[in-house]
Structure formats: C-alpha cells, structure tokens
C-alpha cells in the first residue's frame, strides 16, 4: 500500500509539472481551462498603450510650452541674442559699454514686459513675496592692480551685494537707478552679475485638447559670468518652470466632462493591472510550492539534489517582468490622475513610470511568440549568450574606461568632444559604431605637434582595437550561441533531470494498463483534497 501511495504521488507530481510547463493553448486542450491571464494581458496591452499615447500627447504640450517660453525669454531679455546659443551659454560681450547696455536692457525689458510680450505673462512674486527684479553682483574684496608693473594686490575673499528694483522704482526716471553706486562695476575684480525675477503664465493651448489649462511660475536668472577675466563675459540664461494650481478657473464647454472620462479610464487601467499583479503573484507562489515538492521528491527517490538550472526553471522571469510592469503602471496611473486634477505637477516621474511599464508590457509579448519554435530563437540565443557577453563586456569595459580617462585628460583642452567624461564616452561609443570618424579627426587642433601626434595615435589605436577586434569578438560570441541553438533545435536540446522526469515513459503504464484508470482516479481524488492548492494555473 505504501508503494502504491508513492506511485500515486509520483504520477500526481508528474501531471502537475507537465501542466505547469504547458502553454495556454495546451492547458485549455488538457483541462479546458480558460487562459484568463492571456486575455488579461492582451487587454492590458491595449489599455496601457492607449493611456501612454494620451499622456504622451499631453506631456508634449507641456514640454513645448516650457521650451518655447524659454526661447521667447531669451529674445526678450538678452540684447543681441541671435537665436543660437554659443556652446553652453547664450551670448557674450567684450566691452564695458556692451556689458552695461546688456544689464540695463534686461531690466528695462522686464519693466515693459506687458507692453511687448506676445504671451500670457504677468509678474510673479519671489521668495520674499516681492514683485520686481533682484540684482546681485559678486566680486573680490577691494584691492589694486597695476598692469604696467604687473602688480596685483587683491583679497581673494568674495563679497556679494544685492539690490531690489520694484516696479515703482523702475517707473521713475531711469537715470536715477542707473547712476547709483551699485552699478559702478570694477571689472578687474568683478566675478559675476546675476539678475533674477519671477513671471507667471497660463498654457491656453491645452484647451484645444479638451484639458484644463496649467498655470506656470517661471523663475528666470540671467548671469553675466566674468570669472575667467579673459576679456569675454559669458551671458547665461536659465529658466525653471514649475506648474502651479490655478486659483480661479472658469472654463465652459466639454473640458470638465472630458476630464472625468479620462479619470474613469485611468481607474479602469489600475483595476486591470491590479488583477494582473494578483494572478502573476499567485502563479509565482504556486510555482515555488511545486518546486519544493519536486525537490523533496527527487531527494527522497534519487538521494541527490536537483541542479540549479532545473531549480530556476520554476522561476518564470516573464511573471517577474509583468509584476514590475504592473506596479509601475499602477503608480504612474495614480500620479497621472493627480496631475489631471491638478494636485501634482511632476510630469517627468509619471512619464518615466508609464513609459517604462509600457516597454515591459510589449517586451512581454515575446513570451507568447516563444511558444512557437520558429519565433523563440531570439529568446534562446539571448539566454545562452548573456553570461558570456557580460563577462566579455566586463573585460572590454576596463579598456574602454582607460581610453575614456586618457582622452579626457590629454585631449580635453584641445578638442570639443573630449571636454568632459560623458562627452568622451559618447564620442568613443560613436567611433566604435563607425559614426562621426571624419568629424572627430577634422577637429583635432594642430597648434601643438606633440598633442596632434598623440591624438592621431590615440584615435587610430582605439578604432583598430574596438572596431576590428573587440566588436568582432562580441558579435562572434552571439553568433556562436545562435549556431548552438540552431543545432539543438535540429538535433534536440540536452535533457536535464527535470526534462527526463517529465519525459519518462514509465513501463508501469504499459504493463499495468488495467490499473491506470484506478491511479488516475486516485490522483483526481487527491487533488480534490489537500493537494488542490498546488495545481497551477499558469
């Protein structure tokens, strides 16, 4: 009787394992189980994609409004702005007269804003709840300089002086505040002049999209940078836009009703993702229970442990991906609803969550294509080559970092693409892919023969090493894994202990066909009892 009970447990375990590793169609044919998760994932793909498209269009309006206002501010407040920034700053001046004119021009434009601006702009309050301009200058402490004798006597301590110009002051005679001692600049010890002011605006273009408009607070800063004391003052313009709750909005039409429909749709997306999260979590929990049963059985019968590869077969990575995607979609949808009702304004975080979750959702579609042998070559090749590729990249990355630091420290002062570590890395990565080679060589300065020779040797060695050797080896690793997978598909994959256990065709089924019905009946009775929770619905 104990031997019969052992056989019953073995057959039940084998049946549960076979059912777990079936695809949804096979499960439906085996037990007429409707693939709820498959249908739910298809519905989720449609809804999440629709939600992302709607939010993406709305986010584009927000980004476009901020960028267009920044450009408009540069034309309004920067004298002689050409429309194209010079490197990382907007424009520059080279004479004292131009410096004074640029400072006074920005102040006058602020005073005349409502008469010259085409946008829906108004004056905003600063941190001190005051309306107006705040002008600050930084300079070294007093000293003396005699260039004829090459004599300098200056205190390296930095002083900061500020003045507040409100609208009432600006409305008076301009010569009164222009001739004040504050604007008498000693350029030999001047570090920078900073003009800061706040503006408010309303984005009315969202009304055309049947959305409630956003109110913006722009914190603008104009910086005249003279820290280099090279005879060139760089002018920077920075605008930080924050979305604020509009105090009083009265918009007639279908805007409010459209907002309610969007909120209902987002709530439905949250419900769908929550259901998907629960089902996938349940499947993982049941898979771990089945894994424990299999490990215990194998240890009892064969007196040895199951290999790690077989143990990992029970951890379905696709379910983990779906769970992460569902969590990100739920959080992103909640943020989106808060943004819709104007309680939150963090578009960036919401777009990252929704965008990444949609990416994971569409990547998860590959799982269902993997059920067909002709379509799962990509997945199998990636799984087989990933460990080799990671080890190879770790070694190649050390060489890449060496070239990055070397290029930055040597070529940084002479080449625009090597001025910072991130730009060096981007330049080298483009060279690995064969892009921008001529432009990189053409920008090499030939003022220093030693640096020119080094840069040629540096670039030629990097291109030769990475493009012709390391990149070819990288491709060879993936190609080798692909060839191995193709051979396995033709000749059969190596069988592990788990696959042999599932494939095992017991001789007892041939010799004891008379008792097969009895064993099947006992298995069914046992499933209806204590083992019912271990029958997986994958």
Whether residue 532 lies inside any domain: the answer is: no
Q: Which of 316, 334, 368 is the last residue of a domain?
A: 368
pLDDT beneath 50: ranges in the chain? 1, 505-538
Range of the domain at 151: 85-252
- Asked if residue 89 and residue 232 are part of one domain, the reply reads yes
What is the spatial distance between Cα 31 and Cα 309, in angstroms, rounded to a whole number?
28
- Asked if residue 165 and residue 98 are part of one domain, the reply reads yes
pLDDT in tens, 141-193: 876 666 555 666 777 788 888 988 888 888 877 777 788 888 888 888 889 99
Whether residue 260 lies inside any domain: the answer is: yes
Q: What mean pLDDT value characterizes the chain?
A: 79
- Asked if residue 473 and residue 401 are part of one domain, the reply reads yes
- Asked if residue 312 and residue 267 are part of one domain, the reply reads yes
- Asked if residue 304 and residue 239 are part of one domain, the reply reads no
In the prediction, which pLDDT does 485 show?
Answer: 82
- Asked if residue 390 and residue 308 are part of one domain, the reply reads no
pLDDT in tens, 361-411: 988 887 777 776 677 777 788 888 888 899 999 999 999 999 999 999 988
Count of domains observed in the chain: 3
What is the spatial distance between Cα 128 and Cα 147, in angstroms, rounded to a whole number?
42
What is the spatial distance between Cα 386 and Cα 397, in angstroms, rounded to a whole number?
16
- Asked if residue 101 and residue 48 are part of one domain, the reply reads no
Q: Which of 450, 475, 491 is the last residue of a domain?
A: 491
- Asked if residue 107 and residue 247 are part of one domain, the reply reads yes
- Asked if residue 340 and residue 199 are part of one domain, the reply reads no
Q: Decide if 110 contacts 133 (C-beta within 8 A).
A: yes
Whether residue 387 lies inside any domain: the answer is: yes
DSSP 188: T
- SS3 assignment for 487-537: HHHHHCCCCCHHHHHHHCCCHHHHHCHHHHHHHHHHHHHHHCCCCHHHCCC
The model's pTM is: 0.71
- Asked if residue 218 and residue 99 are part of one domain, the reply reads yes
Whether residue 168 lies inside any domain: the answer is: yes
Q: Decide if 218 contacts 124 (C-beta within 8 A).
A: yes
- Asked if residue 283 and residue 217 are part of one domain, the reply reads no
- Asked if residue 244 and residue 306 are part of one domain, the reply reads no
């Amino acid at each position: 009787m104990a031997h019969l009970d052992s056989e019953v447990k073995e057959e039940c375990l084998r049946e549960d394992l076979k059912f777990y590793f079936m695809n949804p169609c096979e499960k439906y044919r085996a037990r007429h189980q409707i693939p709820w998760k498959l249908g739910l994932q298809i519905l989720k793909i449609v809804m999440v994609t629709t939600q992302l498209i709607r939010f993406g269009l709305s986010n584009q309006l927000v980004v476009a409004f901020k960028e267009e206002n920044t450009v408009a501010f540069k034309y309004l407040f920067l004298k002689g702005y050409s429309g194209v920034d010079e490197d990382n700053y907007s424009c520059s001046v080279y004479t004292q007269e131009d410096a004074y004119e640029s400072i006074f021009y920005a102040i006058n434009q602020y005073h005349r804003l409502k008469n010259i601006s085409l946008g829906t702009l108004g004056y905003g309050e600063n941190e001190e709840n005051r309306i107006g301009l705040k002008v600050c200058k930084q300079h070294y402490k007093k000293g003396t300089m005699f260039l004829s004798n090459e004599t300098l006597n200056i205190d390296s301590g930095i002083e900061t002086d500020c003045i507040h110009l409100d609208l009432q002051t600006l409305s008076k005679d301009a010569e009164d505040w222009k001739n004040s001692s504050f604007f008498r600049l000693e350029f030999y010890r001047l570090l920078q002049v900073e003009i800061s002011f706040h503006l408010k605006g309303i984005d009315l273009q969202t009304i055309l999209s049947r959305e409630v408009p956003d109110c913006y607070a722009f914190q603008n800063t104009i910086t005249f940078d003279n820290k280099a004391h090279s005879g060139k003052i760089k002018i920077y313009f920075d605008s930080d836009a924050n979305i604020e709750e509009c105090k009083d909005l009265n918009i007639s039409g279908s805007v409010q009703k459209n907002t309610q429909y969007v909120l209902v749709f987002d709530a439905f997306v949250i419900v769908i993702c929550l259901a998907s999260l629960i089902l996938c979590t349940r499947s993982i929990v049941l898979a771990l229970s089945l894994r424990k049963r299999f490990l215990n059985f194998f240890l009892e019968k064969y007196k040895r442990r199951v290999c790690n590869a077989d143990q990992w077969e029970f951890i379905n990575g696709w379910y983990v991906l779906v769970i992460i995607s569902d969590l990100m979609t739920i959080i992103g949808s909640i943020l989106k609803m808060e943004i819709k009702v104007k309680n939150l304004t963090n578009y960036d975080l919401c777009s990252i969550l929704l965008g990444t979750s949609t990416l994971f959702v569409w990547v998860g579609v590959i799982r269902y294509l993997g059920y067909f042998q002709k379509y799962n070559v990509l997945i199998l090749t990636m799984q087989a080559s990933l460990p080799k590729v990671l080890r190879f990249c770790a070694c190649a990355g050390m060489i890449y970092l060496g070239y990055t630091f070397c290029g930055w420290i040597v070529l940084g002062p002479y080449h625009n693409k090597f001025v910072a570590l991130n730009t060096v890395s981007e330049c080298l990565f483009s060279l690995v892919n064969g892009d921008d080679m001529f432009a990189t060589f053409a920008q090499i300065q030939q003022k220093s023969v030693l640096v020119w020779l080094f840069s040629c040797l540096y670039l030629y060695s990097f291109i030769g090493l990475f493009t012709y050797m390391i990149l070819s080896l990288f491709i060879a690793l993936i190609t080798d894994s692909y060839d191995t997978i193709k051979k396995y598909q033709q000749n059969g994959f190596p069988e592990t202990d788990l696959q042999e256990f599932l494939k095992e065709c017991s001789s007892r089924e041939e010799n004891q066909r008379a008792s097969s019905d009895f064993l099947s009946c006992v298995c069914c009775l046992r499933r209806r009892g204590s083992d019912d929770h271990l029958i997986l619905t994958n």
